[in-house]
Structure 1
Amino acid sequence: MTKTKLMIAGAVAAVLGAAAAGGAAWAHHAFAAEFDGKAPVLLRGKVTRVEWINPHAWVHLANVNKDGTTTAWMVEGGTPNTLLRSGIDRNSLKPGTEIIVRGYQSKDKLCRPACKANGRDVTFPDGRKLFMGSSGTGAPRDGADASER
């Protein structure tokens, strides 16, 4: 391969690498980009599924409404590592576990395919209350994040 072709191949690889990194950066957003700090939610229901993925884990639950019907919610938490450090793991969030989540609703409020919220803390049936959010994301200082007290 000639020196010119090597330089072009290197430039193409650099551009593709930058594009891939930009996509990852876009996926990890600040709180205010998607959630409304003036729209608190209190969700009660059973866990239906948990996605242990980066950059944010998602807890899916069937929220029991005041009229007895249920609404599907997707609650964004911190990274899987953040949740593990808080004491939340695959065994504590099994499908069927009844939980209470305090958080903030997404700005779009469309609820398609499910309502979305950013979770601040989760309360388990035994009364344990654990922080489930991400620190330093711009979420309201609501006392849930011990590092912000």
Structure 2
Amino acid sequence: MNTKLAVVVAVAGLLGATRPAAAHHAFAAEFDANKPVKLMGAVTKVEWTNPHAWFYIDVTDDTGKVTNWSLELGSPNGLMRAGWNRNSLKIGEVVTVEASQAKNGTPNANARVVTLKNTGQRLFAASSQGQQQP
């Protein structure tokens, strides 16, 4: 009887341990590497959260229409290892972002490189697309 209980507890523990991994999406599930976008705009919001940090920029198209884009970054830990900190992006700062657009065509993208306009500094986005720094 004790052996059966131990097996049931072990299996339940293993199944429970896989739940967080299932909640974290893969790059290919949401973004299309064959739809690269290059966006320039002012930062409107920064969210330093797990499992991914996000930032938002207002992008003005050729007709003058402004669209707020949401851009996914890597995890805060990955970003810190790539040289970022919570203050790397400031509200109002103009940036250029190289990214892969969302598959559903919404103004969402997975950032690969963020370039700060005022300094020219290029920051690797520690994203789930590829594992190499540009």
Deviation of the 1:23 alpha carbon: 3.7
Match of 1:118 among 103, 107, 110: 110
Deviation of the 1:26 alpha carbon: 2.3
Structure 1-normalised TM-score?
0.73
Deviation of the 1:33 alpha carbon: 1.2
Query: Alpha carbons of 1:49 and 1:23: their partners in 2 closer, same or farther (altered >3 Å)?
Result: farther
Deviations 1:58-101 (A, max 9, x none): 11111122222211111111111111222222222121111111
Partners in 2 of 1:17 and 1:47 — Cα distance? Answer: 42
Partners in 2 of 1:131 and 1:106 — Cα distance? Answer: 19
Query: Alpha carbons of 1:83 and 1:39: their partners in 2 closer, same or farther (altered >3 Å)?
Result: same
Match of 1:129 in 2: 122
Q: What is the letter of the counterpart of residue 125 of structure 2?
A: M
Do the aligned partners of 1:118 and 1:133 also contact (CA within 8 Å) in 2? no
Deviations 1:86-133 (A, max 9, x none): 222222212111111101001111x2xxx2100000000210111103
Partners in 1 of 2:18 and 2:124 — Cα distance? Answer: 29
Unpaired runs of 5+ residues, structure 2, are none
Structure 2-normalised TM-score?
0.81
Partners in 2 of 1:38 and 1:46 — Cα distance? Answer: 25
Unpaired runs of 5+ residues, structure 1, are none
Deviation of the 1:51 alpha carbon: 1.1
- Sequence identity (%): 43
Match of 1:84 in 2: 80
Do the aligned partners of 1:45 and 1:100 also contact (CA within 8 Å) in 2? yes
How big is the alpha-carbon RMSD for the aligned residues of Structure 1 and Structure 2? 2.6
Greater displacement, 61-70 / 96-105: 61-70
Query: 2:21 aligns to what SS in structure 1?
Result: helix
Match of 2:101 among 92, 98, 105: 105
Partners in 2 of 1:16 and 1:48 — Cα distance? Answer: 42
